Amino acid sequence: MTTIEERFGKCPYATAQSLISGKWATLILHYLMKGPIRFNELQRLMPKMTHATLSVQLKGLVGSRLVERRQYEDIPPRVEYSLTGIGERFSPVLEALRTWGTEYIEYMEKQTD
């Protein structure tokens, strides 16, 4: 049986799954859909995430070229994260996930009644 790593770049499902496999990747992408954001601001939006975890997740998204890291030479230094062109094209996928997630929550609420 082939692994997801062996299918990356060959199978669209394996590729997409690999790119957004981080626990927080879709939520980070969701916040970045609204425009560039600084690291600390992003961390405030996700209070249960540690600094180290957010850093690792962002590095992965930057490495996959879904997210761009831009450092400004201001004093104090400023770093912003934003979506790349291909990252922005993920917007309809996120919207579909949101829609399905809402439907699933409603479904599960009806199951407990």
- Condensed to tens digits (0 to 9), the pLDDT of residues 49-60 reads 899 999 999 999
Per-residue pLDDT of the chain (113 residues; tens, 9 = 90+): 566 567 677 788 888 888 888 889 999 999 999 999 999 999 999 878 899 999 999 999 999 999 999 998 888 888 999 999 999 999 999 999 999 999 999 999 988 76
The verdict on pTM exceeding 0.85 is no
Tell me which long-range contacts 27-33 makes (C-beta under 8 A, separation of at least 24).
28/54, 28/57, 28/58, 28/61, 28/67, 29/61, 29/66, 29/67, 29/83, 29/87, 29/90, 29/94, 30/94, 30/98, 32/67, 32/81, 32/82, 32/83, 32/87, 33/83, 33/88, 33/91, 33/94
What pLDDT does residue 2 have?
Answer: 61
